[in-house]
Amino acid sequence: MYESSSRRIVPFVLILLIGAARAECQEWKTKWEKVVTDAKKEGKVAVAGPPGTAYREVMRGFEKKYPEITLEFQSFTPANFTARFSKERQAGQYLWDIYVTGPTGFDISAKKSGDLDPIRPLFILPEVLDEKAWFGGFDKAFLDSEKKYIFAFQAQITPQVLINREFVSEKDLNSIKGLLDPKWKGKIAINDPRVDGAGNGRIALWAGQMGEEFVRALLKQDLTLTRDDRQLADWLARGKFPIAIGVNDTDIAELQKLGVGAKVEPLGGKLAEAWRLSTGWGAARFVNKAPHVNAATVYVNWLLSKEGQTAWATTVSRPSRRIDVPRVAGMSPDPGIDYFDIDREERVPLRDKAQEISKSVLR
Amino acid sequence: MSAIQPRSFSPHSFIYWLVLGIVLFAVLYPAGVIILSSFETPGERLVSGIGLQAWKTAFADPAIISAIWNTLTITLARQAIALPIAILLSWVLARTDVPGATALEFLFWLGYFLPPLPVTMGWILLLDPDYGLLNLWLTHLPFVDRAAFNIYSFWGIVWAHLTTSTIAVEVMLLTPAFRNMDATLEEASLVSGAGVIRTIRKIVVPLMTPIVGVVLLLGIVHSLQAFELELILGFPFRFYVFSTQIHWLLNQQPPQFAAATALGSTILFLMVPLIALQRRGVARRSFATVGGRYKGQKQSLGKWRWLIFVILLGVALLITVIPLLFLTVASFMARFGYFDVPKPWTALHWSRVIDDSVFLDSLKNTLVLAGATALVSVMLFTLIAYIVIRTNFVGRAALDMVSWLPSTLPGIILGLGLLSVFLGTPFLRSLYGSMFLLIIATVISSMTLGVQVIKGALSQLAVELEEAAKVAGGSGWNSFRDIVLPIIAPSMLLVGTLSFIAAARNVSTVALISTSRTRPLSLLQLDFLVESRYESAAVIGIIVVILTTGVALIARLLGLRTGMER
């Protein structure tokens, strides 16, 4: 009796589930088609993005896929965008739809002031919402505490310290803690940690993982400062400073392609304090009172799709947080390691603290 | 100096008032916005109140004291070296029979057109204490056992400034003025037994006071705002200047705009008394050197002619040819400075720039922006200078003072002010994002230099010439066209060229106002710089130099026709 009724229920449940799935499928498809139609009517999407030719080139893919929607993409440094955005808002001009850049102080202030709308509701395509498609899961890609405003689609591991083994042997220095040895005084260069950037991120990570005492002691090692990535890479490759903190690894990779700095390598092996997870310039936000909501929806869904992220990873040579797109050698995170992500909103106090310490020590 | 009297309520006075109105609006409005914004207190919605917090933040950093001191000392060192050299070089180029003067003068123009960053990279390559090529070569000498030069030092920064732009621009500005000097005065001095140096010191410099004063003031303003070289060369030995502090505030997260504008306004407040002093100094007497008995004859250098030519050529090579070589080499090297890699040479950077999808549009935008800026600047600045020097218009002092203000504000601070003006003015708001506003912004940025150069030329021109033309029945316009214009034409063409290059190179102001449709080459160059692709940035630098050289050559050909070789 029980068996016969279950035989009847199972197909019924299956039919219900398939029906629900089809309905859901039908639902997103209907929604997507309507958004695309409305986006084409809007005719354009205004995106502010990071400076650099490669970022601009990535966006060409969107124009090819949706030729009816004009992409007005403009590059900004964070300071320039913040200035322009605030002045425009003061004048009642709402000109931007999406802002793509790294995590900056803008995020906190814009979120508080209501200048950002949640980006999460814009995600429609199942491949974008797919939990398994993202490194660490979909939710982990949000940098803000509410998990709805700032979506980090780039996840790159970068070494905290690079060392030129032509000048410093492994026997002499093989750990981050070893940097405190007085013999390295005057031998270390760093990307200025007193301002937001690569140097500050690294100091913040150590402040969180190894404590303030370590950071203070390190900063007292007679560090040489620069704000020029290229200069830092050149110094390291030539051995002017054989140890460098906050070097842009792309710069080093380019030098190594030429045969320079062949013995430059990360310091500290696979230890947690030797690597950081970085968003780079790859995080998207939806600007409040956006003039082209539908086009913005189409744009972010394209950007976060497999196609968009493949374009990002291959053109910019920075790894996507999506795990179904080509990896970038030496930069894509290893799924087995729990990296310290300094870019999350809850870590902002740590970054501020790192700046404060750096300012007080590096006068 | 007597001035030409405008009739009340004449079309002339209407134009004067109109020009004053436009200049006051275009300069004082953004300057006022900037000063006011320095009193804003940042809050959740960007501004939450009024107070002195930004000023306290700006001056709370203990580094500010040393930054001010460093700024003063480096400004003093730059000007103390550059100005006497520039005066001497300009006098030789304009007032003597040194061979190849025209070509040599043009080399100095070319030196000014070169972008400073790749040139500085070149100097680093030669003068780095650890791997600098010149330092390494010198250590082969028996008496040299360590690096002879260190580019990362106070004098390294001074050297980089002198060789990148300071001397070149001062020679550019002074030479046309020297050309307008009456030769009889020098002849009298030389005949009476005073040597060349004494003649320059006692006759030439006093007569050239207005233009020398202007060049000095412009040099000071330029020094106060310079930060690119200080950032690259000063940071490694923690040498901060005023402008690097502004840069620092703008790079905080969130950017400290109010504090940065407080520091920016400080430069403005510091410069106003100096500008007033300079105005007062030149207003007391006449500096007219081109009158009815003007004699433009050049002094003979005699047996020293060729030696002086060689020295001049040496200086020109140092500040033009060597940097140009750096720039060209940089654009063709796989990575600038790495000569010992397997494949050091490549054309990749050129193809990367030329194949860039926005290159052609950016080039077109640069030509429109820089060309229009040059044209508008020449016309507007000539009008302003004429009103200030040649009329009794009640607002002429205000016009003169106000024309100085744009140069006293750092580019990005001026950009912020202009952004407020463009967005806050209904009739301009509708033009927001257009090329028109970019042109207005770059014209305002070039105003000080342009007005002062033409003012200098006009102040050398005796008013008797125009009065004679009027007595002979010529109208005001006729006397301007037939008497004034031919004499000041070289200065006008210089202003056109300077405005062209300033607009073509402008990043800080343009970056805040341009759109994807109006972006010029300078922003494409910024993209490459951000990516650390200095070689590709050097390619754009060369393209801008070629464009500007073309404009300069046309300007000089016109200038030669209109009296440069008087």
pLDDT of residue B11: 74
- Euclidean distance between CA atoms B168 and B162, whole angstroms: 8
- Three-state secondary structure call for residue B182: coil
Phi, psi at residue A118, to the nearest 5°?
A: -60, 135
pLDDT of residue A75: 92
- Euclidean distance between CA atoms A60 and B367, whole angstroms: 25
Q: Does A38 touch chain B (CB under 8 A)?
A: no
pLDDT tens track, chain A, 363 positions? 555 566 677 777 777 766 666 666 778 999 999 999 999 999 999 999 999 899 999 998 999 999 999 999 999 988 889 989 988 998 899 999 999 999 988 898 899 999 999 999 999 999 999 999 999 899 999 999 999 999 999 999 999 999 999 999 999 999 999 999 999 999 999 999 988 889 999 999 999 999 999 999 999 999 999 989 999 999 999 999 999 999 988 889 989 999 999 999 999 888 888 999 999 999 999 999 999 999 999 999 999 999 999 999 999 999 999 999 999 988 999 877 778 888 999 998 999 899 999 989 987
Closest chain B residue to A93, measured at CA: B423
Return left, alpha or beta for B100; rule: phi > 0 is left, psi -120 to 50 is alpha, else beta: left
What is the ipTM score, two decimals?
0.86
In a 10 Å sphere around its CB, with 0-12 CB exposed, 13-18 middle and 19+ buried, how is residue B266 labelled? buried
Q: What is the pLDDT of residues B287-327, one digit of tens each?
A: 666 665 666 677 788 888 999 999 999 999 898 888 888 88
Q: Which of residues 489-528 of B touch A (CB under 8 A)?
A: 511-512, 514-517, 519, 523-524, 526-528
Residue numbers in B near A279 (CB within 8 A): none
Tell me the average pLDDT across B116-128.
Answer: 87
Q: Which of residues 262-301 of A touch B (CB under 8 A)?
A: none
Place of tokens 């301009």: B428
Residue numbers in A near B419 (CB within 8 A): 83-84, 87
Contact B410, B451 (CB under 8 A): no
pLDDT of B280 over the 80 cut:
no
Q: Which of residues 406-425 of B touch A (CB under 8 A)?
A: 412, 415-416, 419-420, 423-424
- Three-state secondary structure call for residue B9: coil
Q: Which two tokens stand for residue B52?
A: 């002195």
Closest Cβ–Cβ partner in A53, A84, A106 for B527: A53
pLDDT of residue B286: 61
Min distance B355 CA to chain A CA atoms (Å): 11
pLDDT of residue B425: 87
- Euclidean distance between CA atoms A105 and A107, whole angstroms: 5
Closest Cβ–Cβ partner in A80, A105, A258 for B253: A105
B8 vs B11, higher pLDDT: B11
Residue numbers in B near A109 (CB within 8 A): 44, 46, 254
- Could you tell me which of B373, B374, B509, B501 has the C-alpha nearest to residue B439? B373
Q: What is the pLDDT of residues B334-345, one digit of tens each?
A: 999 898 899 999
Q: What is the pLDDT of residues B358-383, one digit of tens each?
A: 999 999 999 999 999 999 999 999 99
Q: Which of residues 124-183 of A touch B (CB under 8 A)?
A: none
Terminal alpha carbon distance of chain B: 24
Which segment of A15-19, B265-269, B504-508 scores lowest on mean pLDDT?
A15-19
A57 vs B1, higher pLDDT: A57
Q: What is the pLDDT of residues A83-97, one digit of tens each?
A: 899 889 988 999 999
Q: What is the pLDDT of residues B127-152, one digit of tens each?
A: 999 888 899 899 888 888 888 899 99
Contact B96, B300 (CB under 8 A): yes
- Euclidean distance between CA atoms A321 and A300, whole angstroms: 15
CATH number assigned to the domain covering A157-277+348-361? 3.40.190.10
pLDDT of residue B183: 72
Which segment of B132-136, B493-497, B555-559 scores lowest on mean pLDDT?
B555-559
Contact B115, B541 (CB under 8 A): yes
- Which DSSP helix (H) or strand (E) runs through A333? none
Tally A–B CB contacts below 8 A: 145
Q: Which of residues 98-157 of B touch A (CB under 8 A)?
A: 128, 130-131
In a 10 Å sphere around its CB, with 0-12 CB exposed, 13-18 middle and 19+ buried, how is residue B169 labelled? buried
Per-residue pLDDT band for B47 (boundaries 50, 70, 90) equals: low
pLDDT of B564 over the 50 cut:
no
CATH for the B1-37+347-566 domain, from 1.20.120.80, 3.40.50.450, 3.30.70.3420, 1.10.3720.10: 1.10.3720.10
- Which DSSP helix (H) or strand (E) runs through B432? none
* Domain assignments of chain A as residue spans, ordered by start: 28-155+279-332, 157-277+348-361
pLDDT of residue B377: 97
- Could you tell me which of B403, B115, B408, B404 has the C-alpha nearest to residue B243? B408
SS (H, E, C) B105-171: HHHHHHHHHCCHHHHHHHHHHHHCCCCCHHHHHHCCCCCCCCCCCCCCCHHHHHHHHHHHHHHHHHH
Closest chain A residue to B357, measured at CA: A57
Are the Cβ atoms of A258 and B254 closer than 8 angstroms? no
Cβ-based neighbour number of residue B231 at 10 Å: 22
Q: Which of residues 301-340 of B touch A (CB under 8 A)?
A: 334-335, 337-338
Bond before B254 cis per omega within 30 degrees:
yes
> Considering all CA atoms of chain B, what is the largest pairwise distance in Å, rounded to the nearest integer?
79
pLDDT of residue B12: 78
- Could you tell me which of A40, A18, A20, A39 has the C-alpha nearest to residue A28? A20
Are the Cβ atoms of A260 and B257 closer than 8 angstroms? no
State the best of A44, A47, A53, A360 to mutate against chain B, taking most chain B CBs within 10 Å: A53
**Is the fold of A28-155+279-332 the same as that of A157-277+348-361?**
yes
Q: Which of residues 317-356 of A touch B (CB under 8 A)?
A: none
- Euclidean distance between CA atoms B8 and B388, whole angstroms: 17
Roughly what angle, to the nearest 10 degrees, separates helices B521-530 and B359-390? 120
Residue numbers in A near B356 (CB within 8 A): 53
Per-residue pLDDT band for B428 (boundaries 50, 70, 90) equals: confident
- Euclidean distance between CA atoms B379 and A307, whole angstroms: 53
Are the Cβ atoms of B341 and A258 closer than 8 angstroms? yes
pLDDT of residue B369: 97
Per-residue pLDDT band for B566 (boundaries 50, 70, 90) equals: very low
Identify the architecture of domain A28-155+279-332 in CATH: 3-Layer(aba) Sandwich (3.40)
pTM score of the predicted model:
0.88
pLDDT of B451 over the 90 cut:
yes
In a 10 Å sphere around its CB, with 0-12 CB exposed, 13-18 middle and 19+ buried, how is residue B108 labelled? buried
State the best of A81, A87, A101, A195 to mutate against chain B, taking most chain B CBs within 10 Å: A87
Are the Cβ atoms of A224 and B236 closer than 8 angstroms? yes
Place of tokens 């060409």: A60
- Could you tell me which of A236, A239, A238 has the C-alpha nearest to residue A248? A236
Are the Cβ atoms of B358 and A56 closer than 8 angstroms? yes
Min distance B548 CA to chain A CA atoms (Å): 25
Per-residue pLDDT band for B283 (boundaries 50, 70, 90) equals: low
Residue numbers in A near B130 (CB within 8 A): 238, 240
Closest chain A residue to B335, measured at CA: A255
- Three-state secondary structure call for residue A172: coil
Q: Does B355 touch chain A (CB under 8 A)?
A: no
Are the Cβ atoms of A260 and B235 closer than 8 angstroms? no
Cβ-based neighbour number of residue A216 at 10 Å: 14
